[in-house]
Structure 1
Amino acid sequence: MTSYVSHTTVDCTDAYALSRWWRVVLDYREDPADPNEPGDEECMIASADGRHRLLFIEVPDAKRVKNRVHLDLRPAEGTRDAELARLTGLGATVVADRRNPDGTGWVVLADPEGNEFCILRGEAEVAATG
């Protein structure tokens, strides 16, 4: 017997706002039969193929320390630096820059509620360096 990941849950103070922010970041969708609404305490978004889902749940306590689990994002098109510029333009903040002179590494960001996630090199960048 095995298990599978049904969805990844993110605790937050405003489920609707954070789900909308991540929906733009990841180009995810809402379930048309159960749309997310302002004031909803739980909001789900999913990848276009429905294979990955994120659930945002409102909790009373604020984030206080570093996440123990986080998302690592890889741009499907373009570069890590272009994606970094896009995400900071959407309101993400840089937490730590772990890029190396040889182009490897990542950048740690935080979403509007302070949840950390990382941006890796894009697929084309990885392919170009082997």
Structure 2
Amino acid sequence: MSVELTHLTLYSDDPVSLARFWAAVFTTSVTQDQGPAPRPRVVFEEGRRPEVLYFEGPRAGHLSGSGAVLGIQSETGTLAQEVARLIGLGALIVVEEKGVEGLPKVTMSDPGGNQFSVVPGKEEQIDWERAREAESKELTSGTATAVIIVPDEERSGNGGA
């Protein structure tokens, strides 16, 4: 049996503003969910997962933010460019760190306090992996050279005395 992620719900003190933020992140638009308690949502094009992001007010007894961490990856451009774009939309950097296999990762928070991770785009990941492989080959195929630097006083036989 396999499963697919169909939707995520993010909680915020201002669900409409948060929906606008995420719509801008994914360059799509906000629509209004139909039903007895309409809520803003971001619907993705067919075939993308998740299909829908829902936005609701804070849950009773819970802080703003869902406790889930979303992961996003730019389809084009670099990690630095995507982080700068997201900051321009209102996101904040929480921490810059190394993720899986040392690949850079930036954890950010949206205007509602929900954290998400941004990883390098596919092209940047391929370049990073190639550079890492080349570095590894260089380390294993070369010969080691040691350079010992002797202070002047030791060369003259004073030994520092």
Per the shorter chain, which TM-score range?
A: 0.7 to 0.9
2:47 and 2:24 map into 1 onto residues whose CA distance is 16
Q: 1:106 to 1:25 in 2, by over 3 A?
A: same
1:106 match: secondary structure: strand
Quote the residue 2:73 is aligned against.
74
Structure 1: which 5+ runs fail to align? none
Equivalenced residues, count? 122
Higher relative contact order (CA 8 A, sep 6+): 1
- Radius of gyration: which is bigger? 2
Q: Does 1:19 align with 2:19?
A: yes
Cα deviations by residue, 1:89-127 (Å, 9 ceiling, x for unpaired): 111011111148x97220010001111001101111112
Contact 1:43 1:56 in 2 (8 A): yes
8 Å contact 2:10–2:66 — kept in the other structure? no
TM-score (norm 2): 0.64
Distance 2:43 2:65 in 1: 27
Could you tell me which amino acid in structure 2 is paired with residue 105 of structure 1? Answer: P
Shift of 1:14: 1.5
User: Distance in 1 between the 2:102 and 2:11 partners?
Assistant: 33
Q: Does 42-51 or 4-13 show the bigger shift?
A: 42-51
Question: Percent identity of the aligned residues?
Answer: 27
Aligned residues of 2:65 and 2:115 also touching (Cα < 8 A): no
Residue 45 (structure 2) aligns with? 48
What CA deviation, in whole Å up to 9, does each residue of 1:50-72 have, x standing for no partner? 642100011255636882x2111
RMSD: 2.8
Q: Gaps spanning 5+ residues in structure 2: where?
A: 130-161
SS in 1 for 2:107: strand
* More displaced stretch, 105-114 vs 40-49: 40-49
The answer to whether the aligner puts 1:10 opposite 2:13 as a matched pair is no
The structure carrying a bigger helix percent of its residues is: 2
